[in-house]
Amino acid sequence: MIKRIKGTNDIIENAYIWEWVENKFRNVAEHFGFSEIRTPIFEATELFDRGVGKETDIVQKEMYTFEDKGGRSVTLRPEGTAPVMRAFVEYNLASKGLPQKFFYIGPMFRYERPQAGRLRQFHQYGIELIGSSLPIADVYTILVAIESLKAIGLENFKLKINSTGCEKCRPSYKEALKEYYKPLLDELCSDCKTRYNRNILRLLDCKRDAEYAKSAPNILDYLCDDCKVHFEELKSLLDKLNVEYEVDPSIVRGLDYYTRTVFEIKYPLLGAQDAIIGGGRYDNLVEELGGTSTPSVGFAAGMERIILALKTEEKIPSFQDVDLYIVAVGDDQRADVLKIAKELSKVLRVDVDLMGRKVKSQFKNASKGNARYVLVVGEDEVRSGLYTLKRMSDGTQMRLPIDEVVKTVKDS
């Protein structure tokens, strides 16, 4: 038997939940003025080397990179921001005016160790707000994130914010971190030992070495005046909007493009993989990709984790597969059943027997498929135009013309 690849999932019985969540997210993003962007699943490897950063775990260890038949190095996208910004530069979208606001939903690929809530093919819903350097853009982005979660009825999530400074103030902070961690090097986990030289900020969000991070220098004490003002304005806007948040200096994010504001939304009940949304400001990415400076901010939400969170809150909407199962009493009525199904499928979810079943087993099949109603189509019904409609929840039967059938099923 050929099985699915480790770290990937088939979405079979839950596809309707995905569709429901995606529609809600799409709706929120559109109502906040974002339009959909669909970029390719694979890109030139260089995009992520430059965009996400050569020293990040993603680029060092997690990319699905291969050479295509033309000898080009291509990579399955591990995230959505670099591709969106590549498109922004490639099509000179700045000429359409700023800000530009995009959202996306789709699969991403990272070669990570699979566990609950961590996959190798996972899905993100994300937004990118391109072109504003102001804290109000950060807050707008955070609002879209929170309203998206509220739209699916999720509670119990926590917003954490931090600033990672800018190219002016970050170097002195990195120096301070190096000083702090130097005497501890022998005790750090193997990942942190390599990160010490490559990506010192990531020592702060290591789960194994979290104790050391607690007493590490705090980035907020190292911010330059401009970054400080930005962070203060961000907090004051969040306060004015009554958005609850916690300032958490351990939020540093795993991608190199961030500047100033970073944030995560955690869902603590999920355990180890509890970040359901991650995002922040990335003011230098467009320049990095060859465009002119275009400060931007965005986030991405992990769909698998969000659906797990919904399940813990038992917030999945109940879903009936079929509104009306149309039963043919005899083979002579099969064509009539199809005719009725064709018409009613315009307004209801219908089902019919396609296996040549007898009446009794058509009824059984209807209950198995959770049909709310069954419509019986026999010789008499076809002649009189009055059909027997059975409500499956309590067995109530009525005889109605077709338009009344539709009304009854729709209104209940």
Applying CB under 6 A, the residues found at the interface with ligand HAM are 79-81, 110, 112, 117-119, 122, 124, 126, 128, 254-255, 275-280, 282, 298-300, 302, 304-305
152, 153, 249, 267, 309 from 313: Cα distances, Å: 11, 9, 29, 11, 7
Closest CB to ligand HAM among residues 124, 132: 124
Closest CB to ligand HAM among residues 106, 378: 106
Look-up of token digits 């965005």: 298
Rounded to 10 deg, the angle between the 402-411 and 334-344 helix axes is 50
Residue 221 CB, shortest distance to ligand HAM, in Å, is: 25
Residue 320 CB, shortest distance to ligand HAM, in Å, is: 30
Cα 29 versus chain centre, distance: 12
Residue 266 CB, shortest distance to ligand HAM, in Å, is: 9
Closest CB to ligand HAM among residues 122, 231: 122
Which H or E run contains 171?
helix 170-181
Closest CB to ligand HAM among residues 249, 254: 254
Residue 336 CB, shortest distance to ligand HAM, in Å, is: 49
Cα 194 versus chain centre, distance: 31
Closest CB to ligand HAM among residues 53, 217: 53
> If we measure between CA atoms, which residue out of 240, 183, 189, 244 comes closest to residue 215?
183
Residue 13 CB, shortest distance to ligand HAM, in Å, is: 20
- Beta carbons within 8 Å of 375's beta carbon, 6+ residues apart: 324, 325, 326, 327, 340, 387, 388, 389, 390, 405
Residue 339 CB, shortest distance to ligand HAM, in Å, is: 47
Query: What gap in Å lies between CA 79 and CA 59, rounded to an integer?
Result: 11
Could you tell me the end-to-end alpha-carbon distance of the chain, in angstroms, rounded to an integer?
45
Find out whether the peptide bond into 171 is cis, omega within 30 degrees of 0: no
Query: What gap in Å lies between CA 262 and CA 249, rounded to an integer?
Result: 10
Closest CB to ligand HAM among residues 219, 324: 219
Closest CB to ligand HAM among residues 234, 406: 234
Structure tokens at 159: 């917003």
Residue 175 CB, shortest distance to ligand HAM, in Å, is: 26
Q: Are strands 350-352 and 324-328 parallel, antiparallel or unpaired?
A: parallel
User: Can you list the pairs that 112-115 forms with residues at least 24 positions away whose Cβ atoms lie under 8 Å?
Assistant: 112/7, 112/62, 114/6, 114/7, 115/272, 115/273
Q: Are the C-beta atoms of 81 and 126 separated by less than 8 Å? A: yes
Closest CB to ligand HAM among residues 67, 287: 287
Nearest residue to the partner ligand HAM, using Cβ: 302
Sign of CA dihedral 231, 236, 241, 243: positive
Residue 247 CB, shortest distance to ligand HAM, in Å, is: 18
Which H or E run contains 87?
helix 81-90
Residue 368 CB, shortest distance to ligand HAM, in Å, is: 34
Closest CB to ligand HAM among residues 173, 258: 258
